[in-house]
Structure 1
Amino acid sequence: MPKTHTRNGGRAARRAARAAPLAAHLRPIRPGMSGGTYTPLTPTDQDNIHHTALEALEQIGLADAPATGVAYLTGAGAVLGDDGRIRFPRALVEDTLARANRSVTLMGRDPRHDLDLSGARVHYGTAGAAVHLVDADGRQYRECGVRDLHDAARIADTLDNIHFLQRPMVCRDITDTLEMDLNSIYACAAGTTKHIGTSFSQPQSVRHGLEMLHMIAGGENAWRARPFISNSNCFVVPPMKFATEACEVMEACIEGGMPVLLLSAGMAGATAPSTVAGAIVQAVAECLAGLVYVNAICPGHPAVFGTWPFGLDLRTGAMTGGSGEQALLTAGCAQMHRYYDLPGGAAAGIADAKLPDMQAGWEQMCSNVMAGLAGLNMVYEAAGMHASLLGFCHESLILGNDLIGQAMRCVRGIEVTQDTLALDQIRAVCLEGPGHYLGTQHTLGRMEQDHVYPVLGDRTSPKEWDELGKPDLIAKATARKVQILEHRAAARFDSALDAQLRGRFNIHLPA
């Protein structure tokens, strides 16, 4: 009997072609693609938000700056009132905006992971301070520890669409705050060579953290030349108050050459106005005050304008990180970053859902897509976060890689050229060819450059799905997690450096 050619053979060939890695410049998506096509605020809206923020700074100001902060700010031209609040003259803010650093690159230990924050370039990554790890298989929550944080870093290091790792959970198994801060740095840096964000619980922790980073970098000069960790700093306690101790941490980090994320995280309806516009105004005002603070300490120091207002369910008081309002808050903030032409970051991709289920899918995709389309430079908390930031899930981080891939394809948009308009293809297929585009040179030549294919997402037919044993998405993510964690992290330090770090610091992660 003659051999019959079936569609399965063609499908196998296409799958083999997709398995071959593409050169970086041919990939359909990559870190730092430019967004900015989504603009929920009109130019007049942006002007009004800006001027209202300036009025708030000039008339209301911020309370509770540390003594050092008062000295820096009044030395720059801010005014300390009899009520203890520091007010910011409009000219001071405008002068700061004129000279702020707009050429910020957040560096990785591996230069190929450097993040250019200019314009509307978009990068997705993790963040947060979850206190629980989500066991997707057992459908339960448990307290997370340093090994879980290290595993998250190891997983993120292997995922193409996770561009940076800000510490997503707290090491609840380490009670001493200094040791927790230092072990958080170690666990992240030993897991990934991508850029890392971390926090310090108290000012005195900073010098010890910098000592560790100098050792990892190969000396203080090497660290200052390429600082691969930034400080996520909640320098304000909304509404309109400085967080005294966090400001002291920020001052120490700036002195140590560490980039800072100026993070204002008001809750709309509780610690920020309940309206989307009002919450954005307050976040912008607080971050403008932070920008003046940073530049008063060190003009031109690299800082990320971190407007992070969150939504609130006014019926219950619960956070609504997965809501449409949250997506609008983040997109509006991204637009204000572009208004100022400042490197900016905000939160998206948060799920209020407790597990990686359908609710988590719609919540994570909605805000991630809108943040990317709005041109947000740093999309924090984009993958893995559940229960309104209380839980972090390794499987969800892995699935988030697929989700963000689709979001990045939306960011890339539609290219309209003579080639993509495809008139020659239409003519050839309709007048000279088989009447379809399957297998044509143009289709095969562009299938990898134009299309993003999910790693774990299932696009099989029901028949194929049944023949494959009805694979479950969470089970596939768990299997991928196990596969990644079977291997030692590529970012782990060499034995000599690791011995030095363990000799100097109390490292809780097993060697």
Structure 2
Amino acid sequence: MQFNILSPEEVEAIHQATLRILSEIGVTLTHVKAREVLTSSGAAIRDERVLLPPNLVEACIARCPHQVTLRGRGGAVKTLGDGSLNFHNLGGARDIYNGSAVSYHDPGADEHRFATLQDLRDATRLLDALENCTTITPFFTPQDVPGALMSLAMYRHALPCTIKPLQGPGVQYAAEARYAVKMAEVIGGPGEVLSLSLSPVSPLNLPEHEAEAIMEIARLGITFGPLPCPTAGTTAPFSIAGALAQQNAEVLIALVLAELVNPGLPIIYCGRLAMMEPRTGISVWGGVELDLASAGTVQIGHRYGLPVNVYGFSTNSHTLDLQNGFERALNAAIPALAGADELSGIGEMEAGVMGSFAQMVAD
């Protein structure tokens, strides 16, 4: 059974709208070398914005392989894009709350607290033991390491605790990519055992350090997942179609830059489009709009022949209750029926702010 929220004509309309966004509005990008790479292939400059011609965008999409292979320390191999559905946990690297990182639901007490490195190691071991979790990313953002080392510490302390394919956390800087590669070399070829994601800043902004990081990931030959996280109604249009077009543009600017640096680099099409609750302004991860946006993201990524990673198991609930079960079941089922290659969010609670061991097992 296939569930599509968009008709083929609507998918094509979003694609064409994306090409217009990239060619007429462009992306804020001031990194000198990145501009040189793009303009030497036909891009134009207007003030601080880079404009991409449609033929360049489509040529770079055509260079991407249709499948991505992820290999674990124990030799386990998962292929994204072969028609199989893989399940993936909440990634702590992006979850910030009041200036502090993801909180943790203690299985021994009904309370929240900030996560530690030991929690990260324990979570990775549990995910490694859970049969239905097929790929892993570092679960918690530990508070007992300096912020500048956060992403690397997450990868370093998760790596010894699983034999499953371990996808790296979100990075922002080129140095993080280089050091992650050094760690990955301990268990195998980094091009096989490591993938890295990076989130362009919505709306349509690629800061200098992120542009440099994308080029470094590409130079290193690491599987790359552009991971924009727009919120409809604040950093993206309120309509699902408009927000999908913007999210798509943010994926494609990162894809184009990476493919120009290293043609044929494996790409995982990722999207984390969420919705704003107008009364409070908070980001809502439990409403039906999220599963519709995720299903639309799957269709757009598949239009390009790319494997797609979306949410997934998500809820705004703060505890294991009926709201939690209803929201995450619906938000997982709809994109799964749309053909997602990788469903993320195992263990997620409180709109991604909190993680729970009990929730991992329930999922």
TM value normalised by structure 2: 0.93
Counterpart-to-counterpart distance in 2, 1:61 and 1:369? 34
Alignment gaps of 5+ in structure 2: 96-101
Letter in 2 for 1:397: M
After TM superposition, give the deviation of residue 281 of structure 1 in Å: 0.8
Conserved 8 A contact 1:136-1:355: no
CA spacing shift, 1:51–1:39, aligned 2, 3 Å:
same
Partner of 2:244: 280
Deviations 1:76-96 (A, max 9, x none): 221122x12001111111212
CA distance in 1, matches of 2:162, 2:186: 16
Looking at structure 2, the residues matched to 394 and 230 of structure 1 have their Cα atoms a distance apart, in angstroms, of 24
Which piece of structure 1 moves more, 350-359 or 114-123? 114-123
Q: Does structure 2 conserve the Cα–Cα contact (< 8 Å) formed by 1:268 and 1:309? A: yes
Matched, 1:172 2:128: no
- Among 238, 244, 259, which residue is 1:295 paired with? 259
2:109 is the alignment partner of 1:144: no
- Matched ranges for 1:462-501 at <5 A: none
Cα distance 1:39–1:280, how it changes in 2: closer, same or farther (>3 A)?
Answer: same
Looking at structure 2, the residues matched to 333 and 316 of structure 1 have their Cα atoms a distance apart, in angstroms, of: 26
| Equivalent position to 1:242, from 203, 206, 209 | 206
Distance in 2 of aligned mates of 1:43 and 1:397: 36
Partner of 1:163: 134
- My pick for the range that moved more, 46-55 or 196-205, is 196-205
Change (3 A) 1:312 1:136: farther
Check if 1:207 corresponds to 2:178. Answer: yes
1:186 aligns with 2:156: yes
Equivalent-residue separation in structure 2 for 1:353 and 1:284 (angstroms) = 28
Aligned counterpart, 1:46? 11
**Shift in Å, 1:108:** 1.9
Aligned AA (1:152): A
Structure with the greater alpha carbon radius of gyration: 1
Alignment of 1:386-405 (within 5 A): 386-400=349-363
Deviations 1:376-425 (A, max 9, x none): 112122x111111111111101111xxxxxxxxxxxxxxxxxxxxxxxxx
* Counterpart for residue 255 of structure 1: 219
SS in 2 for 1:333: helix
Deviations 1:403-457 (A, max 9, x none): xxxxxxxxxxxxxxxxxxxxxxxxxxxxxxxxxxxxxxxxxxxxxxxxxxxxxxx
Return the offset for 1:374.
0.6
Aligned residue for 2:310, secondary structure, equals strand
C-alpha displacement at 1:352, in angstroms? 0.6
Q: Which has the higher helix share?
A: 1
Mapped contact 1:109–1:228 kept (Cα < 8 A): yes
State the partner residue of 1:230. 195
Q: Find the residue that maps to 2:340 and give its secondary structure.
A: coil
- 1:195 positional shift: 1.7
- 1:156/1:397 contact within 8 Å kept: yes
Instruction: Give aligned-pair identity as a percent.
Output: 26
Q: Aligned pair 1:66/2:31, yes or no?
A: yes
How many residue pairs are counted as aligned between the two chains? 354
Match of 1:377?
341
Please state how far the C-alpha of 1:205 moved relative to its aligned partner.
Answer: 2.9
- Does the alignment pair 1:342 with 2:313? no
Task: Give the structure 2 partner of residue 80 of structure 1.
Answer: 45
Which of the numbers 143, 161, 165 marks the counterpart of 1:195?
A: 165
Does the 8 Å CA contact 1:136/1:356 hold for their aligned counterparts? no
Which protein is richer in strand relative to its size? 2
Aligned in 2, Cα 1:223/1:230: closer, same or farther, shift over 3 Å?
closer
SS at match of 1:164: coil
User: Post-superposition shift, 1:247?
Assistant: 2.5
Query: Matched residues in 2 for 1:39 and 1:207: separation?
Result: 39
Shift of 1:350: 1.3
Return structure 1 stretches of 4+ with deviation > 4 angstroms: none
More deviation, 126-135/144-153? 126-135
Unaligned 5+ runs, structure 1: 1-35, 401-511
The correspondence of residues 439-454 of structure 1 with structure 2, limited to 5 A, is none
